Structures are given as structure tokens and as C-alpha cells.
Amino acid sequence: MTMLMAFPSTCPVKAFPPNALGLYGLGANASEWCEDWYDPQKQEARTLRGASWRDGVEFYLRSAFRGNFDPKERFAGYGFRVVLEVSAEK
């Protein structure tokens, strides 16, 4: 069994090694809601980026994927990224 098959849905934080920049889990755990509106009128569709564990079509599995979705939609493969900025103070 591969590591990917070990999780039936999203995987725990740090389940896989970090990338070259030391960042964990940047792809395929959940598609991320973005602050950007997809439509110019800012009424109907927000931007969802990246891929999730629920996506099976190769096109959607690209980290560069951007789609337009109703922000009221809920789906197990949709999420958002929390960023914590750490101060460099000593």
C-alpha cells in the first residue's frame, strides 16, 4: 500500500516530507478557497485553486488549477490554508 492510499480523505499535518523549501502539504489535500472573486461583478463565483484528494480527473489535479464555484458550496475536498507568520525577533 502506498502512502497516498493510507488515508481515505485528508491526511494529517506533516504526514509527508517537506518540499525543498521546508513547506508541508502544498498539494492534493484540499482545494483552497481564495480571496479573489472569479466573476467581475463579485456576486456569484469565488476562486478555488489547486487539487484535492477527491479530484480524479488529471486536469483538476494540477496545483495551478483555478475554478469558479459558488462560495455557498460545501464539499469535503474544499478548504483554506491558515498561515502563521512568525516574527524574526530575538
Residue-wise pLDDT tens digits, 3-54: 455 777 777 778 888 888 887 776 667 788 888 888 878 778 888 887 776 6
User: Which residue, 6, 21, 11, 23, is CA-closest to 79?
Assistant: 11
Q: What is the pLDDT of residue 2?
A: 45
User: Which residue, 86, 87, 90, 84, is CA-closest to 13?
Assistant: 84
Q: Exposure of 2 by Cβ count < 10 A (0-12 exposed, 13-18 middle, 19+ buried)?
A: exposed
Q: Which amino acid is at 22?
A: G
pTM: 0.59
